[in-house]
Amino acid sequence: MLEENFSLKKYNTFGIDAAARYFSTFSTLEELNELLDVNQPSTFILGGGSNILLTKNIDGLVLKNDILGIEKLKEDDEHVYVKAGAGVNWHELVLHCISNNWGGMENLSLIPGNTGASPMQNIGAYGVEIKDIFFELEAFHLEEKKLVSFNLKDCEFGYRESVFKRKFRNKFVILNVSFRLSKHPVFNTSYGAIEKELEAMGVTELSIRAISQAVVNIRRSKLPDPAVIGNAGSFFKNPEIGSKQFEVLKNDFQNIVGYELPGGNIKLAAGWLIEQCGWKGFRKGDVGCHEKQALVLVNYGNATGGDIYSLSTEIINSVHDKFGVLLEREVNII
């Protein structure tokens, strides 16, 4: 059923009160096809709303993807292949796989949003990205109205990037995603504070469930709950620079945080850069920079998308002025 002039406040984790000209949900491909026959100037597909910033009303049709279901496709001696509907909550999928002792997703615990967005962003955390466990996905071409399968190579995954963010932006609706998970998990605990948290938890026998809980504990201690304070998690990407530029910066800023990448480039910690510019804990009206994590911009109540976008621009400019490094927004601006 189409609803008119529909508030999207409950459907984006920033809690921005923007409206859709028309709104509906779909839980099958058949329902999607019927809704696409509605003659509108534009169609916007909404997932969990955890990685978007609405800066205006949407003068068109907004369709929320509610395709559910988790199933085991096949298995061999080493791996199990699992398919999930695009509307499945990401963390619920992670917990489902952990309960079956299928390894690979545990480091991605508690990332907000739905499964369909995971390959779009190539979501990642604590040393793991979607590309490491991705098998394939099915997507529906909005104009040609046909199903297309994408394998790992087709998705052209990069750092928080895929073909769906640029090349095929607004061209496809992801219907389901399949993952290749391990029956004999290899534990990844070297990134961030995972080992320290496992020790604090008193874990003596390592497991994917223990790693997941450690990640959940760390995320909850550092990141605000969108149900309490409007946010979309990390607002900026960690920038990459050349090794020579890093050495120059290190001379001026001895405590600068950087990680060497394959190929020699250095990934900087965007949160550290922003914090050095004095933004951590900043608040003006209902918009601000979170007190515990400078990467997270927040809506304390009635901020507009424009307010948050303006703050992000100020932050980008100040980091560039101080360090000569240009931050890029990770959140999709609508």
Give the full edge-to-edge strand order of the sheet including 266-268: 240-241, 266-268, 258-260
Q: Look up tokens 């509307």; give the residue.
A: 87
Helix (H) or strand (E) holding 160: none
> Cα-flanking dihedrals φ and ψ of residue 62, to 5°?
-105, 125
Residue 198 near residue 189 (C-beta atoms within 8 A): yes
What one-letter code names the amino acid at 329?
R
Q: Tell me the C-alpha distance between 131 and 152, whole Å.
A: 7
Query: H/E element holding 127?
Result: none
- Count other Cβ atoms within 10 Å, centred on residue 198: 19
Annotated catalytic residue 240 = no
Cα–Cα distance for residue pair 211/108, rounded to 1 Å: 10
| CA nearest to 29, candidates 3, 66, 79, 74 | 66
Q: With beta carbons less than 8 A apart as the criterion, state whether 98 and 204 touch.
A: no
The H or E element that residue 134 is part of is strand 134-141
Per-residue HEC secondary structure of 176-242 comes to EEEEEEECCCCCCCCCCCHHHHHHHHCCCCCCHHHHHHHHHHHHHHHCCCCCCCEEEEECECCCEEC
234 an active-site residue? yes
The catalytic residue among 106, 129, 136, 330 is 330
The one catalytic residue in 109, 136, 160, 312 is 160
330 is catalytic: yes
Annotated catalytic residue within 50, 162, 234, 312 = 234
Sign for the pseudo-dihedral over CA of 243, 245, 246, 252:
positive
Partners of 10 in the β-ladder: none
Which residues are part of the catalytic machinery?
160, 234, 330
